[in-house]
């Protein structure tokens, strides 16, 4: 498509001339359709892209003025802008100075149909905090690569150690190109939400769903998962189901048992980003212009900062309620922030549902821990776990057992400890290196 034709399409679009009339005029001008190297679909796609990239008068300048103003206030404010071949703004990325000291991309669309990507992290209270924002012209691999490189530049080359995303292929490709060392995890929640859509047509749908949930959530060793998945496929005649096969091919990216060697700061899904959509709805809507948005963005940022400051004050000047006589509960109540301490406190309370028996001694002591659990069907049952206690070699032995190595055929299973990391030397910052997309 030549430059003159593109200009004509843009001009006709500005004057709101219907696309079919524009295309017909091009045919008349060329003499016959075969002489054109594009069809009506190409014309429609080009005009759609043009409308998306064309900013209402004043919006582009408002964005630039905002960036300059913020950088004048604080030289550590960071922004990058990318242009297309026609010198039109294509992608924005920016991060305020406070955000650059921390470490997810969710999407909101605006009136220009440009995906809005706020980078976020989890602070020391478990709250979502802003790291920066991006506006993309499209969701191609090229755009995500540019955005992720902008992120690396802003963060002085410090890449995330772990990333949680949905199954968006363009983003997955970009991650492999830019964040080459990061552990990439697919959103478990999004995958399981598709179960009714993908499997509801089967006669034994309910039992199939229960079998899949048991394989995914209850497997504490790799060989347990493999056996449960295989039985689900065989028992319900699912060998020809392409969706399940595609999930199995990517099992190491979403099945929990394959991901326990990587710290994800308690995040296995992108639901934190979904909740951020609701937060933005308070301030912006689909018809908000960019010039309006930049003024509201500061309000959004201030709201987040105030909530964090309030939680800081509450943690520093009040004491949480102690629920047991355990010394370490009292001790850790003075170290953790209140929100994080509540997560630890739940584990302390549930400890009283367990009983333990030592079965071997040595450099690594082995215990059998019995826990009473309640299933989704409200059925109470006893579950046995094998807990190893000792030096650093425990990690290697537990990893071997979870992956089906020695003693993997025993009925007991390695206990799943859930860790909470706190940087006590820097209570105002949570050193999270997870990027949730």
Alpha-carbon span 104 to 381, nearest angstrom: 38
| Cα 389 to Cα 128: distance, rounded to the nearest angstrom | 34
Centre a 10 Å sphere on the Cβ of residue 111 and count the other Cβ atoms it contains.
16
- Altogether, the residues listed in the chain come to a count of 437
- The CA distance from 184 to 252, in Å, is 9
Q: How far apart are CA 362 and CA 342, in angstroms?
A: 34
Instruction: Return the CATH number of the domain spanning residue range 59-187+262-308.
Output: 3.30.420.10
CA distance 388 to 41: 63
Read off φ and ψ for residue 377, nearest 5 degrees.
-85, 15
pLDDT along the chain (437 residues), means of 10: 83 82 86 82 78 60 73 74 65 64 46 66 79 77 88 83 83 91 89 92 91 91 94 94 95 92 73 58 66 72 85 92 89 92 90 88 88 76 84 54 43 32 30 38
Q: What's the pLDDT at 105? A: 45
Domain boundaries, the chain: 3-53, 59-187+262-308, 190-253, 338-421
User: Which distant-in-sequence residues (6+ apart) come within 8 Å of 54 by Cβ?
Assistant: 88, 112
What's residue 98's pLDDT?
60
Beta bridge partners of 367: 358, 387
Annotate 343-360 with three-state secondary structure: HHHHHHHHHHHEEEEEEE
- As beta bridge partners, residue 326 has none
CA distances to 76, 86, 173, 209 from 195, rounded to whole Å, are 46, 44, 25, 7
Helices (H), 236-354: 242-249, 271-281, 290-317, 327-333, 338-350
Query: What gap in Å lies between CA 87 and CA 105, rounded to an integer?
Result: 26
Please tell me the predicted confidence (pLDDT) of residue 240: 92
């Amino acid at each position: 498509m030549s430059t003159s034709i593109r200009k004509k399409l843009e001009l006709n679009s500005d004057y709101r001339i219907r696309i079919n009339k524009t295309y017909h005029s091009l045919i008349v001008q060329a003499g016959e359709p075969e002489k054109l190297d594009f069809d009506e679909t190409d014309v429609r796609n080009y005009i759609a892209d043009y409308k998306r990239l064309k900013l209402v008068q004043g919006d582009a300048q408002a964005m630039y003025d905002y960036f300059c103003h913020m950088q004048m206030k604080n030289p550590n404010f960071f922004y990058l802008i990318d242009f297309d071949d026609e010198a039109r703004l294509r992608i924005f990325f920016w991060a305020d100075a406070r955000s650059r000291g921390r470490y997810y991309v969710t999407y909101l669309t605006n009136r220009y149909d440009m995906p809005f990507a706020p980078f976020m992290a989890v602070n020391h209270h478990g709250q979502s905090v802003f790291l920066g924002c991006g506006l993309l012209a499209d969701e191609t691999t090229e755009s995500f690569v540019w955005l992720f490189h902008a992120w690396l530049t802003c963060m002085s080359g410090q890449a995330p150690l772990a990333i949680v995303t949905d199954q968006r292929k363009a983003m997955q490709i970009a991650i492999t190109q830019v964040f080459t060392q990061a552990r990439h995890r697919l959103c478990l929640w999004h995958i399981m939400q598709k179960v009714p859509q993908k499997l509801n047509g089967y006669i034994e749908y309910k039992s199939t769903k229960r079998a899949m949930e048991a394989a995914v959530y209850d497997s504490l060793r790799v060989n347990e998962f493999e056996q449960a998945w295989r039985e689900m496929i065989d028992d319900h005649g699912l060998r020809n189901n392409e969706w399940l096969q595609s999930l199995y091919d990517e099992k190491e990216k979403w099945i929990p048992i394959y991901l326990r060697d990587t710290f994800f700061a308690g995040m296995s899904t992108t639901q934190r980003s979904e909740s951020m959509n609701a937060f933005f709805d308070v301030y912006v809507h689909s018809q908000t212009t960019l010039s309006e948005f930049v003024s509201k963005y500061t309000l959004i940022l201030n709201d987040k900062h105030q909530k964090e400051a309030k939680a800081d004050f509450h943690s520093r000047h009040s004491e949480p309620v102690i629920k047991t006589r355990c010394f370490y509960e009292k001790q850790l109540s003075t170290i953790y922030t209140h929100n994080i301490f509540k997560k630890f406190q739940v584990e302390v309370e549930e400890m009283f549902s367990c009983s333990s028996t030592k079965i071997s001694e040595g450099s690594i002591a082995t215990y059998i821990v019995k826990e009473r659990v309640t299933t989704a069907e409200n059925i109470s049952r006893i579950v046995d776990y094998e807990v190893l206690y000792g030096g650093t070699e425990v990690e290697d032995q537990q990893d071997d057992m979870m992956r089906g190595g020695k003693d993997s055929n025993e009925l007991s299973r390695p206990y799943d400890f859930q860790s909470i990391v706190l940087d006590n030397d820097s209570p105002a910052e949570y050193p999270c290196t997870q990027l949730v997309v």
